[in-house]
A = this chain, B = another copy of it.
Amino acid sequence: MIQVVILGAGNVATHLYKAFQQSENIEVIQVYNHKPERLINFPETSTTTAISKLKEAHIYIFALKDDAILKMANIVPDFGSLYLHTSGGIGLDALSNFRNHGVFYPLQTFSAKREVDFAEIPMCLEANSDKNLQKTKELAAGISEKLFETDSGQRKALHASAVFVCNFTNYLYTIGADICQKHDLSFELLKPLIKETAAKIEELSPEEAQTGPAIRNDRGTIEGHLELLDKNQKNIYELLTASIYNLHGKKL
């Protein structure tokens, strides 16, 4: 049985906790958070708000925001255990205070209100030795079927990619919703399209899947759209249209 202490009580910590609880060979023996109010999300487990009361465990997981990971790395004691963080944004060396350290990055977007199936989540793993990587893999295998070794440079690239395909994409949904609202249209109308756009890339590469007026620089349609956008939306529309035309238009 792998004994784990989780540091943090936000979305990543909560979802990881639930996944560990369902695993047969992982036991979360404690959850730490500096604020007590979020610890009520872990009723079945011992919790603490004091670093001095951390239990000894095989693995400590820093499921915290980037700046909190860096800060906590200076105050958590080194019991000789394995110390992992869950961030896509910072390097392996963020935990180099600890003899045994690594990264345990689940490449997914987590919201408090939505359940996720960890089995499908790519776990991007790295550690400071083969032995520690092996332990990190064992932990990941307890919750996911998709394990990937990625170095800190690759993880940074993945994190940047994730900003495009998740954060920026969600912002484009926000613009779609805004245009609908301004024209007395339900955002429901766009949902099947959003779903299919994402589903398409299971079968087609994004390059193959590209459609729309930008490919052929269809000025009549494009000008018509620009007329009904606000200034910021117009800037985004023009930049992305030019980018798509530069990539695809020349091949027509």
Please give the residue numbers on chain A whose beta carbons come within 8 Å of chain B beta carbons, in ascending order. 66, 89, 107-111, 113-114, 116, 120-122, 124, 146, 148, 150, 153-154, 156-177, 179-180, 182-185, 187-214, 218, 220-221, 224-225, 228-229, 232-233, 235-237, 239-240, 243-244, 246-247
User: Which residues of B sit under 8 angstroms from A203, Cβ to Cβ?
Assistant: 113-114
With A and B bound together, what is the CA distance between A168 and B165 in angstroms? Answer: 11
Residues of B within 8 A of A221 (CB): 66, 89, 159
Once A214-B167, A232-B246 are accepted as A-B contacts, the answer to whether A109 and B196 lie under 8 Å apart by CB is yes
A150 CB to nearest chain B CB (Å): 7
User: Could you write out 16 A-B pairs with CB less than 8 Å apart?
Assistant: A111-B200, A114-B203, A124-B189, A157-B179, A158-B189, A161-B185, A163-B225, A164-B176, A164-B236, A165-B197, A166-B196, A167-B211, A168-B172, A191-B201, A198-B199, A232-B246
Q: Is the CB of B89 within 8 A of A213?
A: yes
The answer on a CB contact under 8 Å between B229 and A192 is no
Residues of B within 8 A of A224 (CB): 89, 156, 160
* Apart from A161-B185, A167-B213, A171-B244: 12 A-B pairs, beta carbons within 8 A: A122-B189, A124-B189, A154-B183, A154-B185, A157-B183, A159-B221, A161-B180, A162-B193, A166-B211, A167-B212, A173-B201, A232-B243
Which of chain B's residues have a CB closer than 8 A to the CB of A169? 169, 172-173, 194, 197-198
Contacts A66-B221, A154-B184, A232-B246 given; does A109 touch B197 at CB 8 Å: yes
Q: Would A177 and B156 be within 8 Å (CB), given that A190-B162, A240-B171, A243-B236 are in contact?
A: no
The answer to whether B156 touches A193 (Cβ under 8 A) is: no
The interface residues of chain B lying within 8 Å CB-to-CB of A170 are 197, 200-201, 206, 209-211
Chain B residues with Cβ below 8 Å from A232 are 243, 246
Considering the chains assembled together, what is the distance between the CA atoms of A207 and B173 in angstroms? 9
CA distance A157 to B179 in the complex (A): 7
* A120, A162, A176, A232, most chain B CB atoms within 10 A: A176
Taking CB atoms, residues of chain B closer than 8 Å to A180 are 157-158, 161
Which residues in B have their C-beta under 8 angstroms from that of A220?
A: 66, 89
Most buried by B among A122, A196, A232, A239: A196
The closest CB in chain B to the CB of A229 belongs to B160
Residues of B within 8 A of A228 (CB): 156-157, 160
Query: Known contacts being A173-B206, A185-B158, A239-B236, is A197 close to B89, with CB within 8 Å?
Result: no
